[in-house]
Amino acid sequence: MGQMALPCQMQLVMESLVPSNGILRPRIQKREESGLKEDVSEDVKGEECSGSQLMKVLDDHPVYLETFMNTLSLILKGDGPLPFNYRRYLAIMASARHQSLVLVRSQMAAFSSVGGNQEWLCGLHAAPGKLCSISELNRILAHRPWILSSQHIQNLMKGSWSLSEVVHAIVIMLHFHALSSLVHGTGIEQHLISPSSADPNPLPPPPSRFITNVLF
Q: pLDDT for 17-59, tens place per residue?
A: 554 444 444 333 333 333 333 333 333 444 444 556 777 777 8
Range of the domain at 80: 40-197
CB 104 within 8 A of CB 92: yes
Q: What is the CATH number of the domain that holds 65?
A: 1.20.1290.10
- pLDDT classification of 129: cutoffs 50, 70, 90: very high
Tell me whether residue 207 is in a domain.
no
Distance CA 200, CA 86 (A): 31
- pLDDT classification of 115: cutoffs 50, 70, 90: very high
DSSP summary character for residue 212? -
- pLDDT classification of 141: cutoffs 50, 70, 90: very high
69 has a pLDDT exceeding 80: yes
Please give the residue that has the higher pLDDT: either 124 or 194.
Answer: 124
For residue 208, what are the contacts with CB-CB under 8 A and spacing of at least 6? none
Please give the residue that has the higher pLDDT: either 193 or 156.
Answer: 156
- Least reliable range by pLDDT among 6-10, 120-124, 141-145: 6-10
CB 103 within 8 A of CB 177: no
CA distances (Å), origin 127, targets 17, 89, 135, 189 = 10, 9, 11, 27
For residue 99, what are the contacts with CB-CB under 8 A and spacing of at least 6? 6, 14, 18, 23, 25, 180
Distance CA 136, CA 161 (A): 14
- pLDDT classification of 13: cutoffs 50, 70, 90: low
Domain count, the chain: 1
Question: What pLDDT does residue 187 have?
Answer: 77
Tell me whether residue 157 is in a domain.
yes
Tell me whether residue 162 is in a domain.
yes
C-alpha dihedral over 129, 133, 135, 136, to 10 degrees?
160
